[in-house]
Homo-oligomer: A and B are copies of this chain.
Amino acid sequence: MDNLVEEAGLREGISEVIATTQPLSGTPNAAPVGILSRGSEYRVRLYRGSKTLSNVRETMRLAANVTRDPMFFVRTLFGNLSPGDFSLFHGFPVLKEANSWVLFRCRLVYEGTDSLLFLLSPLAVAIIRARIYAINRGLNAVIEAAILASRYNIMKSNREREQMMRKMGDYAEIVERCGGRREKEAIRLLIDELQKRANQNRMVSKNLSMLL
State whether the Cβ of A134 lies closer than 8 Å to any Cβ in chain B: yes
How far is the CB of A131 from the nearest CB of chain B, in Å? 6
Which one of B99, B139, B143, B180 lies within 8 Å of A132 (CB-CB)? B99
State whether the Cβ of A66 lies closer than 8 Å to any Cβ in chain B: yes
The interface residues of chain B lying within 8 Å CB-to-CB of A66 are 132-134
Task: Count residues of chain A with CB under 8 A from any CB of chain B.
Answer: 39
The answer to whether A134 and B12 touch (CB under 8 A), given A34-B178, A144-B140, A178-B34, is no
How far is the CB of A44 from the nearest CB of chain B, in Å? 13
> Which of chain A's residues 111-154 have a Cβ closer than 8 Å to chain B?
127, 130-140, 143-144, 147
CA distance A192 to B12 in the complex (A): 23
The interface residues of chain B lying within 8 Å CB-to-CB of A136 are 11, 13-16
Which of A2-10, A157-165, A200-208 faces chain B?
Answer: A2-10
**Which residues of chain A have a CB within 8 Å of any CB of chain B?**
7-17, 34-35, 64, 66, 68, 99-100, 127, 130-140, 143-144, 147, 177-181, 183
